[in-house]
């Protein structure tokens, strides 16, 4: 079982490594118990492309019930291009029914607590199920995506889920990701071409103007330090509703 100390040693060893080398190392180290949490963003598609060069990518996706149709189109394109089987995880039906019955379908607009509650039911709890039994998980996070991500490492201990989290693109810019995708024919999520640099649930994501920060279209009514959904907590989530989700 990987532990926090071993993860720190891996982080030191891989701090300056290229994304392809990091993905290859992870595939070799964790074998079939490595998984990518895939939103079908360009970053995640590039991680799939890097993984496909050294093995068979294994990925899961969270169907929150509020995803835009284009995300399913992107998923089909990625699965076809790399011959993938995607594991879809869904929120608990009873939790959704209770939320809708008690607060309605747009409660996330009313307060930060309500938004956290919606993300917790639709994303955080399914993520915990998706990661159960895995040895490590891969993401497409980059440091320059958000003020909440400036210090992420290429390998770090995920205290919330108690396993290593590997962010091979941590040091890449958006331009680096786009260049890799263009050079290798990686399928591009349709909304990226329509002004959506970052894509999440349909009601909480909008297009941004040229020059605006790439995550400014996510929960645009909140301040930058609040723009996380709980999937990438940096500390144990004893009470996710009180954490930065
Ligand atoms: S992003 Fe919006 S719709 Fe999706 S889970 Fe969070 S609050 Fe709910």
Query: What is the CA 33 to chain-centroid distance, rounded?
Result: 18
Which of 123, 202, 220, 232 gets mutated to test ligand 1 (max ligand atoms within 8 A of its CB)? 123
Residue 7 pLDDT more than 80? yes
Residue 230 confidence (pLDDT): 61
Q: Assign residue 83 a region: left if phi > 0, alpha if psi is -120 to 50, beta otherwise?
A: left
113-148: per-residue pLDDT in tens? Answer: 999 999 999 999 999 999 999 999 999 999 988 777
**List of residues 6+ apart from 132 with CB closer than 8 A:** none
Residue 213 pLDDT more than 90? no
Residue 243 pLDDT more than 60? no
Minimum CA distance residue for ligand 1 atom 4 = 201
Taking the CA of residue 202 as reference, the ligand 1 atom at the shortest distance is 3
Residue 231 pLDDT more than 70? no
54-69: per-residue pLDDT in tens? Answer: 999 999 999 999 999 9
Give the Cα separation of 58 and 238 in Å (integer). 28
CA of 108 to the centre of ligand 1 (A): 7
The strand pairing partners of 86, in sequence order, are 59
Minimum CA distance residue for ligand 1 atom 3 = 201
Burial status of residue 69 (CB atoms within 10 A of its CB: 0-12, 13-18, 19 or more): exposed
Which of 41, 95, 115, 120 gets mutated to test ligand 1 (max ligand atoms within 8 A of its CB)? 115
Minimum CA distance residue for ligand 1 atom 6 = 119
* SS3 at position 189: coil
Domains of the chain: residue spans and CATH: 4-192 (3.40.50.620)
Residue 224 pLDDT more than 80? no
CA of 124 to the centre of ligand 1 (A): 10
Residues noted as catalytic: 229
Report the first-to-last Cα separation within the chain, whole angstroms. 28
Give the Cα separation of 120 and 134 in Å (integer). 20
Give the Cα separation of 106 and 131 in Å (integer). 28
What are the phi and psi torsion angles at 171 (to 5°)?
-90, 0
> Are 161 and 128 in contact, with CB atoms under 8 Å apart?
yes
Give the Cα separation of 41 and 26 in Å (integer). 21
Q: Which of 37, 73, 43 is nearest to 180 (CA)?
A: 43
Band (pLDDT 50/70/90 cuts) for residue 240 is very low
Minimum CA distance residue for ligand 1 atom 1 = 201
Residue 181 confidence (pLDDT): 98
Report the chain's mean pLDDT, rounded to a whole number: 91
H-state helical runs in the chain = 4-14, 19-30, 42-52, 69-82, 93-103, 112-119, 125-131, 174-184
pTM over 0.75: yes
Within 6 A (CB) of ligand 1 lie 64, 66, 108, 115, 118-119, 122-123, 200-201, 203-204, 229
Minimum CA distance residue for ligand 1 atom 5 = 119
Average pLDDT over residues 81-94: 98
How do beta strands 34-37 and 136-138 pair?
Answer: parallel
Give the Cα separation of 21 and 51 in Å (integer). 10
Band (pLDDT 50/70/90 cuts) for residue 234 is low
């Amino acid at each position: 079982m990987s532990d926090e100390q071993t993860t720190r040693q891996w982080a030191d060893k891989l701090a300056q490594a290229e994304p392809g080398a990091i993905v290859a190392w992870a595939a070799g180290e964790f074998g079939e118990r490595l998984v990518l949490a895939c939103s079908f963003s360009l970053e995640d598609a590039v991680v799939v492309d890097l993984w496909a060069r050294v093995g068979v990518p294994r990925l899961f996706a969270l169907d929150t019930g509020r995803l835009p149709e284009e995300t399913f189109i992107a998923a089909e394109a990625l699965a076809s291009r790399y011959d993938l089987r995607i594991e879809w995880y869904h929120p608990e039906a009873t939790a959704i029914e209770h939320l809708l019955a008690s607060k309605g379908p747009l409660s996330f607009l009313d307060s930060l607590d309500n938004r956290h509650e919606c993300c917790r039911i639709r994303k955080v709890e399914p993520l915990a199920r998706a990661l159960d039994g895995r040895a490590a998980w891969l993401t497409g996070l980059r440091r320059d995506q958000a003020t909440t991500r400036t210090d992420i490492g290429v390998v770090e201990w995920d205290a919330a889920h108690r396993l290593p989290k590997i962010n091979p693109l941590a040091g890449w810019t958006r331009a680096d990701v786009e260049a890799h995708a263009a050079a290798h024919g990686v399928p591009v999520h349709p909304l990226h071409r329509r002004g959506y640099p970052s894509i999440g649930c349909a009601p909480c994501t909008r297009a941004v103007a040229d020059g605006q920060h790439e995550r400014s279209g996510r929960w645009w009514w909140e301040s930058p330090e609040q723009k996380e959904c709980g999937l990438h907590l940096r500390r144990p989530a004893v009470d996710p509703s009180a954490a930065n989700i």
